[in-house]
Every structure is written in C-alpha cells, then in structure tokens.
Amino acid sequence: MSAVIPIHADAGCTDAPVLAERGQREVFCGLTGIIWLHRKMQDAFFLVVGSRTCAHLIQSAAGVMIFAEPRFATAILDERDLAGLADAQDELDRVVKRLLERRPDIRLLFLVGSCPSEVIKLDLSRAAGRLSERFMPQVRVLNYSGSGIETTFTQGEDACLAALVPVLPVSMQQHEPELLIVGALADVVEDQFARLFTAMGIRRFAFFPSRRSTALPAVGPQTRFLLAQPFLADSARALEGRGACRVSAPFPLGAEGSAAWMQAAGAAMGLQAAEVEQAIAPARKRAEQALTTHREALTGKRIFFFPDSQLEVPLARFLARELGMVLTEVGTPYLHRQHLAVELAWLPAGTALSEGQDVERQLDRCRALRPDIVVCGLGLANPLEAEGFTTKWSIELVFTPIQGFEQAGDLAGLFTRPLTRRTLLAA
Amino acid sequence: MQLTLWTYEGPPHVGAMRIATAMRDVHYVLHAPQGDTYADLLFTMIERRTERPPVTYTTFQARDLGGDTAQLFKDAARDAYERFKPQALLVGASCTAELIQDDPGGLTQALNLPVPVIPLELPAYQRKENWGAAETFYQLVRTLAVKPAQPRVRGENKPRCNILGPTALGFRHRDDVREICQLLAQIGVAVNVVAPLGASPQDLARLVDADFNVVLYPEVAHQAAGWMARNLGQPATKTIPIGAGATREFIREVATLAGLDPGLATTETHSHAPWYARSVDANYLTAKRVFVFGDATHAIAAARVAASELGFKVVGLGTYSREFARDVREAAALYGVDALISDDYLEVEAAISAAGPELVLGTQMERHIAKRLGLPCAVISAPIHVQDFPARYSPQMGFEGANVLFDAWVHPLMMGLEEHLIGMFRGDFEFHEDAAPSHLGGAAIKAKQDEAPALIELPPPEPDKQEGPAAAITAAWAPDAEKELRKIPFFVRGKARRNTERYAQDHSVPVITIETLYDAKAHFSR
C-alpha cells in the first residue's frame, strides 16, 4: 500500500484513486437483505427460488428469527425442475398457491431470484406477472434478484426497492415539493426523523419502503428523494426514471452527518438553514454530548474496514471526523461515486480506499498494518481475534439502529465496546 | 420444487467443508458464486473455530459467466495451492457451479500440482450435507489409504484401531472422541488414527496399519468403513456407544474384534447414570412420554437410552436422515411406533402435537417446536446452535456421556421431589403448578393458564396442519368438568384429559361433564 497523495487538501478523497480488486470475496449475497426487509414490510412475503444452499444461507443468517413464523421461505429447486423450464413454472405456481393459502394475510409477494434460478434463466418476472394477474387485487406479486452473482449483501435491498418503484402510485399534486426518504430504517429511527421533519415544518414527507404495502408512497416530478442508505443505486435510478430528483447529502450517521442530512432535507423543501438548525438543535446537542465519552476511547485508534455493506465510507467518515479515529484502509464492495460524493469529500485526504476484494491479499495488508480495530464479517472475526486483532463484526451495523442523532452515541459504542472488552479481559 | 422454511441439513458441499475443516493440511477449492462464503461462519461462529475453514471460493459473478469461469477456477486452485501448500487438494462445485458445468477435477489435473487432487462429485439437487460429508471422507480414504506393497505394520503389543467419523460442526464430536479414546486405552486398545477430525492426509495413509475400525458416526463414516472392510480387510464396529448399556455392548464388540477379554465390559468406573436412574427420586420418570427426533444414529441411540435406561415410554421416533430410514424404522418397531422419516419440520411439529409427549428429544428445531408447545426438551442431535458447542467437557458417548445424558434430559423435567411437593401443595400461592421448575429460574414462566377458565386445549386453528390423527373432532368440556379436571395433579392431568377425550369420542359423548370425567377414569383404570 502506497500512501495516496492528496491533490488538493480540502477536497478530501473526492479524486482519490481506489484500489480495485478481484478475487475471493468474503461477503454475503443479496438474499440476506430479506432478513431485515421482511421486518420492515409487515404484509410482504419473500419467496426465494433457489437451492438448498439458499435456504441454508438464510437460516444461518436469520439465526433464531426463523422460528417466529417469519415471512420468508425458499422454493428449493430439484432435479425435476432443472430438466425442463415449462415444468418449473407450473411447480412455482403450485408452491405459491400453497403458500398463499397458508398465509392469507400476505398482500405483497416477492419472488426472489438466486444464483441457480438466474443461471438456468428461470423467468421469474414472467412468473410474477402471471401470478399477479391471478391473485390481484388480494396479492401483488413482484420479483427481484438477490443472487450472489449479481448482488452483494445490502444490494438485495436495492434490488427489492427498485422492483417496487414501478408500482408506486403517481403523485397527483404538481406544485409543491414532496420529500421521500429512501431506504429501510429501524422503526424507531423512522419515527425520530418524522418528528424532526414535523418540527422543521415539513408536512409532505414519506418513507420508502413503507411499513405496509397497501400504503405505498406516491412519486412524481415534484418528489425530492433523500437516500438514508448508501447502497441504493438502482432504486435511485428507478425513482429518477419516474421524474423524482435526488437530493445530494452525506448519510445520517453521527451528529454532523445527521445534521447535514437534515439540512439537505430542509433545503430541498425550501426551508432556511436557520429554521432547520433550530428544529434539530436539541437533538444535535444530545448527540454531540453522547459522543464525547466515546471520543476519549477512540481518538487516535487505527481502524481497518473489510468490504461488506457499502456503509463503510460513511462510517469511516463519522469515525474519523467526529471521533478522531485514524483510517488505515476503507474497503467497500461497491463504490458509487455520485451518491457518496459528499462523503468522499469529507474523508481525510490520503485515506486508502479499496473496492471489491481479494480476501487473502486484503488480510495480508491488514496484518501488515496492525490496526487497533478491524471491521469485518463473522467469517473473519474470530480468526482475526485469535491472531490478536480486535474486531467489530460488521453485520451488526446493518441490523442495529445507527442512523440519526439519538443513535450517534450507540453507533460510537459499537466500536468502543470491543476495545473496552479487550482491556477488561487483559486486566 | 419444495417449499422450505427450515432445513435440517445444508447442501452437500457444506458436508465436504466439514471434512476439510476437520482435517489438517487439506485445502478445498470450491467453484461457487459470491455469497457462498456464508458457510464459513458456521465454523467460525457456531463452533467458534480460531481459524478460517481451509476453503477457497472462486466467487464468480454474473459478468464472469461469459466463459472464463474455468480460467477463474484454475487461477483460484493454483493460488490456493501456492498460498496454503496443502498435502492434498479437494476440488468441487457448489450448486450454482454444478449448473455451469466446468469440470473442477479436469481443470485441476491440468495444473499438474505436486499433491493428490481429489475431485468431488456432490449432486446438490439430490443430496444433502451428511451425504456430502460421507462421500468426501470416502473419496479421501480411497485415494490416500492405499494398500502398501510391503506387509502392513500391525500393532506390536496392543491391538490397534482407527476411530472414524468425527468432523467439524459435529454434535459433541470433540468430547466423544476424547471419551472413546480413554475408554479404548483403558481396555488396552491403541488408537492408530482418528479421522477426519485432526487427521492429515499423511495420517490417512496410515489407516491401513490398524486391525479394525471404530465407527462413531455412521452418517459420515459408513461408506469409508465399508470400503476399508472390503479392500483393507478391516472389520468395523456397529454399536454406537451412547448410553451405559450400549457402551458395555460396544466394549464387548471392540474386545472381540481386538482379541481381548469381552468381560472387560464391566469396567464402569465413572458411570453414575445407572444408579441415578435407580434412585427413588427417578421413580417419577417412569413411563414419561418421550418423542425422539434427530439424525438416525443419535435418534436410535436416544430411544434406547430413554426406554431401557430411564424407563421412559417412547411415543415417537423419527429422523431426517433418509439414508438410514430403514434402521430407524426397525428401531421404531421395537417401541411399537411408526417411524417418522421427514425433513419437513412442520410435519415433525404435527407429529409431536399428535403424540402428546411430556419430553421432546431432538435438534435445535425440536427445541423451538417444544418451546412453542410448552414442552420440556433436550437436544440430542445436529443441527445445533452455538450453545451446543459447550466450553465444558460434555460427551454423549461412553460412561461419562451416559452421565451427561442423564443430567441433560432430566434437567428440563420437574425433579421428582419437587413434583411430589407441588402435587401436595397445589394451589399454594407460591408453589403452584404454573411455577417453573425451581432449578430453571423464575424466568421460564408458562402462559398464564389460570386466567382462562375455559381450558380447552385445542390445537391452534391452522387449517394447513390438521392432517393425520390430530384432525379428529374432540368433545367440548363443560365448565364444571374443566374445573374438576384442574383438581387432578397437573403432571397426570394431560393424560387424564387425553383419556377422557378419547372416552368421550369412543362413546360419542358430545359434552364432557364431571360424570364423563369419572366414567372415563373408571374405564381406563380397569
């Protein structure tokens, strides 16, 4: 790793070169997104069409949640399905019929493509159209791909939301801007944001995905959408296709990030910066206060990110700017320069960025850098701990509420805890 | 297409990973798309291994499908060999790579690596995890345990055996191996090689030096052991030493194969379980209804221990291991029940509800089914979660294993004296039937049944599940009969309820009154 020379000091990493790698990737596929998406969309069911491996993956990732009669399942392909395609479509109809009889409360069914179904080119979009025709208006059937060959981890959410965009209602009002927050957020975070928007005086705002499929937000040329998550490239494109405009902002992580995100929301809705500032001031102050205790533990500590969720760049920005951490390498599975423009500008100049992965080489770099804390997946975490590294497993950053002011302290705490623990156990 | 929520077994390549991870100096190159690395965390998290599994994935993506996936595989295999320098290389395809039909074996042969390359054919759309493990171990043994040209080195003073079957991610394999090794040492049998757990390819080459094989887990080792019996002339044990009785039988079998005194089987230094089961506190265990489900080996062994060492009544026996369905059917016949051969957990749940057990012995899934049905449960077989890879020594096999089984199975039940006291003081404000067993702490509180006066325990109205015998219509309970029923000690109340309902059904009584309750009691006590 050679240090990157900043081109101009105040542009952060805007033009920084990125190490692009190909090789073995130690990441989840997009099917994993189902685990949090089905919690968010309360009347949706996710049916994966795939192999036993897909079913096994979801159950391994879902842990104990699988027993609470969750709203996802796998239609496992067997030899007979591989023999002829026409047959597979009939089989799928049979499985879906059985499923919907069993779960009459379901209003939205996603047929989720997997690697096997994509490779045999099972036409799930045709199946979704056919089944939708058959079960509408009770159940709408859509499809997207969460396959590993096309999607990495959180990109599954992107694919799912992008599939929903075409069925969003058309917004009838034509004059005033409407704000759409895009990306699944924990309910508690969503509620906090809604309260702040209301305090700012924004009346027309909605969240996408909505909690129920029967109350999908409308979209039109007056829609200004603000991404709450950094991994929504296709969804953003689909929304733009429907005339909506993306509002550029950093992501709402940390006090500073959340404030800037709120400011962007306000500006898009025609508010003055001072109005927004006034509405968010108490929450922002609380967040800054919550961070001070963690700053002591984290300042000067060196952190290394393995790629996982695309949240790495915003997280690194937060940890560097608000907590004084030193970034060694920030890996991301995919770097969307446009959506991350503000984030990149805010990263300390000279940060080593990498996109994609060759896990063995990246481990070599990590070992050579000897960071104080490593953010990585569960496949790497214990082996790295055994080598003497302190790790923070990354999936928790996707499952835990971390966005917004009230969660800023918790987010910092996720990084402080493993370091504290190491100190405690060593003592 | 099969609609699945939960799967008892992973795909066959996960079985292969369990073998590779169990061994030393073996590396597995798996042609697989991005995402299949999820399986790594089974080993690093559930089993808490300190090293990554020795598996390299090619991680092909959609854009690679144009035709260079074969090259991708060759590069991955070459790089993996260069980096890890294994003594043997396993190569194969996961379910998706099976569809794109690159030939991992042929591609790797072309690389001319200086170590044995073992191609694995694991049909992912027909077979499952245990089959994959058995096949992988068999291929390794077949390739590496070659008959030597010179006469084999037999045990000089002591007879020698191999221990076959323990793997990574195996339920208590770590401690079973230790227990069985101790047992064998005690009776004077030397262990030649334990495989696959802890063995290297060089160790597999020495398999032939043993006089016979001890097969601990037929699901993994039966195929390899069969081949070794035919080609290397090594007989294999058939008894699975789970439970004190089976352990004694196992010692007899080993002693016979080793040419030692079969009377060694009386060695029983550490076994408290048989005495505990005879002690009066265990009286209340008599004829407790138990439902057993798991892999074939553990299910059959558990049923035997339950029936003959704890005095339970086996009311259900089943397995998800289709490969061993016949053995389970034979075992089930011993207890007069029909074997349940299924990998559909909803079917298992229905069977458990229908059998009305007082204890469930099963896997992680049965643990959750039992929780839902409010039944006590102990885990006897994989699949298991992290808590069943305990830090403490807890084998299932051998005499210490028998002790562990006694504690683990009796623990979720009310202790005998406690049951008795609750029967005496039932209704007492702090010592009542809805109180959880005191040794389980206050948190495990059952649903507040006493707040619902109409205590008609009908299965939840899920039309899908009303299959089989459970679908029969049950007579309704009159409120006063329901009240009277509650005066019967709760640990026999379930039986009383079942008997009364059966009586009502047989006699076409539409509403159960106090009279019916006592009629039924008289009828069944004849």
User: pLDDT per residue over A402-419, tens digit each?
Assistant: 999 999 999 999 999 999
Catalytic residues of B: 281
Residues of chain A found within 8 Å of residue B382, distances taken between Cβ atoms = none
Taking the CA of residue B78 and the nearest CA in chain A, the distance in Å comes to 13
Average pLDDT, chain A: 92
CB A245 within 8 A of CB A223: yes
Is the preceding omega at residue B383 within 30 degrees of 0, hence cis?
yes
Work out the percent of chain B whose per-residue pLDDT is above 90.
64
Of A2 and B263, the one with more pLDDT: B263
Taking the C-alpha atoms of residue B404 and residue B305, their distance in angstroms, rounded to an integer, is 12
Residues near B146 by Cβ (< 8 Å), separated by ≥ 6?
Answer: B205, B208
Residues near B257 by Cβ (< 8 Å), separated by ≥ 6?
Answer: B159, B161, B211, B212, B235, B237
Q: Which residues pair with A396 in a beta bridge?
A: none
In this prediction, residue B423 carries a pLDDT of: 63
Instruction: Decide if B59 touches A, using CB distance below 8 A.
Output: yes
CB A378 within 8 A of CB A309: no
Start-to-end CA distance of chain B, whole Å, equals 51
B1/A81 touch (CB, cutoff 8 Å), yes or no: yes
Start-to-end CA distance of chain A, whole Å, equals 34
Mean pLDDT confidence for B194-207? 95
Instruction: Decide if B52 touches A, using CB distance below 8 A.
Output: yes
Is the pLDDT at A318 greater than 70? The verdict is yes
Task: Mark out the alpha helices in B374-471 (DSSP H runs).
Answer: 398-410, 416-424
Q: Which of residues 409-448 of B touch A (CB under 8 A)?
A: none
Mean pLDDT confidence for B53-68? 90
Mean pLDDT confidence for B52-64? 93
Residues near B230 by Cβ (< 8 Å), separated by ≥ 6?
Answer: none
In this prediction, residue B153 carries a pLDDT of: 59
Mean pLDDT confidence for B40-59? 94
User: pLDDT per residue over A18-27, tens digit each?
Assistant: 999 999 999 9
A53/B10 touch (CB, cutoff 8 Å), yes or no: yes
In this prediction, residue A399 carries a pLDDT of: 87
B35/A382 touch (CB, cutoff 8 Å), yes or no: no
Taking the C-alpha atoms of residue B258 and residue B187, their distance in angstroms, rounded to an integer, is 10
CB B380 within 8 A of CB B292: yes
User: pLDDT per residue over A265-315, tens digit each?
Assistant: 999 999 999 999 999 999 999 999 999 999 999 999 999 999 999 999 999
Is the pLDDT at B395 greater than 90? The verdict is yes
- Nearest-CB residue to B125 (from A70, A79, A381): A79
Instruction: Please give, one letter per residue, the 3-state secondary structure of A172-222.
Output: CCCCCCEEEEECCCCHHHHHHHHHHHHHHCCCCEEEECCCCHHHCCCECCC
User: pLDDT per residue over A72-103, tens digit each?
Assistant: 999 999 888 887 766 888 999 999 999 999 88
Average pLDDT, chain B: 87
Instruction: Decide if B192 touches A, using CB distance below 8 A.
Output: no
B40/A61 touch (CB, cutoff 8 Å), yes or no: no
A66/B6 touch (CB, cutoff 8 Å), yes or no: yes
A81/B128 touch (CB, cutoff 8 Å), yes or no: no
- Band the pLDDT of B435: cuts 50, 70, 90: low
Q: How far is CA A342 from CA A339, A408, A413, in A?
A: 8, 19, 25
Closest CA to B90 of B128, B137, B124, B126: B137
Residues of chain B found within 8 Å of residue A78, distances taken between Cβ atoms = 1-2, 125-126
- Nearest-CB residue to A98 (from B3, B41, B57): B3
Which residue type, as a one-letter code, is found at position B411?
H
Which residue type, as a one-letter code, is found at position A147?
S
> Cβ-count burial of A124 within 10 angstroms (0-12 exposed, 13-18 middle, 19+ buried)?
buried
Q: B514-525 and B490-506 helices cross at what angle (nearest 10)?
A: 90
Taking the CA of residue A302 and the nearest CA in chain B, the distance in Å comes to 23
* B364 to chain A: closest CA residue: A64
- Nearest-CB residue to B38 (from A57, A91, A386): A57
- Band the pLDDT of B499: cuts 50, 70, 90: confident
In this prediction, residue A16 carries a pLDDT of: 87
Choose, out of B3, B31, B38, the residue to mutate when testing the contact with A (most A CBs < 10 Å): B38
Mean pLDDT confidence for A57-71? 75
Taking the C-alpha atoms of residue B433 and residue B167, their distance in angstroms, rounded to an integer, is 43
Mean pLDDT confidence for B290-296? 97
Of B118 and B456, the one with more pLDDT: B118
Residues near B241 by Cβ (< 8 Å), separated by ≥ 6?
Answer: B180, B183, B216, B247, B249, B250, B251, B397, B398, B401
In this prediction, residue B449 carries a pLDDT of: 40
Taking the C-alpha atoms of residue A73 and residue A110, their distance in angstroms, rounded to an integer, is 11
Q: In this structure, what are the phi and psi dihedrals at residue B22, rounded to the nearest 5 degrees?
A: -65, -35
In this prediction, residue B507 carries a pLDDT of: 87
Give me the interface pTM, i.e. the ipTM. Answer: 0.92
Q: Which residues pair with B512 in a beta bridge?
A: B477
Residues of chain B found within 8 Å of residue A45, distances taken between Cβ atoms = none
- Band the pLDDT of B373: cuts 50, 70, 90: confident
Is the pLDDT at A221 greater than 50? The verdict is yes
Instruction: Decide if B131 touches A, using CB distance below 8 A.
Output: no
Of A50 and A173, the one with more pLDDT: A50
In this prediction, residue B210 carries a pLDDT of: 92
| CA torsion, ordered A21, A27, A29, A34, to nearest 10 deg | -140
Of B283 and A287, the one with more pLDDT: A287
* B466 to chain A: closest CA residue: A102
In this prediction, residue B440 carries a pLDDT of: 56
Is the pLDDT at B53 greater than 70? The verdict is yes
- Band the pLDDT of A61: cuts 50, 70, 90: confident
- Nearest-CB residue to A95 (from B1, B51, B372): B1
- Band the pLDDT of A173: cuts 50, 70, 90: confident
pTM of the model as a whole = 0.88
Taking the C-alpha atoms of residue B39 and residue A57, their distance in angstroms, rounded to an integer, is 7
Q: Please, how many CA atoms are within 13 Å of residue B134, restricted to the half-sphere of its CB?
A: 21
User: pLDDT per residue over B159-192, tens digit each?
Assistant: 999 999 999 999 999 999 999 999 999 889 999 9
Instruction: Decide if B464 touches A, using CB distance below 8 A.
Output: yes
Mean pLDDT confidence for A247-275? 96
Distance of CA B179 to the CA centre of its chain: 18
- Band the pLDDT of B90: cuts 50, 70, 90: very high
In this prediction, residue B472 carries a pLDDT of: 54
Q: Which residues of B408-427 are buried (b: 16+ CB within 10 A; e: fewer)?
A: ebbebbbbbebbbebeeeee
Look at strands B212-215 and B313-319 and give their pairing. Answer: unpaired
| CA torsion, ordered A269, A272, A274, A275, to nearest 10 deg | -50
Q: Is the dihedral angle over the CA atoms B189, B190, B196, B202 positive or is it negative?
A: negative
Is the pLDDT at B480 greater than 50? The verdict is yes
In this prediction, residue A84 carries a pLDDT of: 73
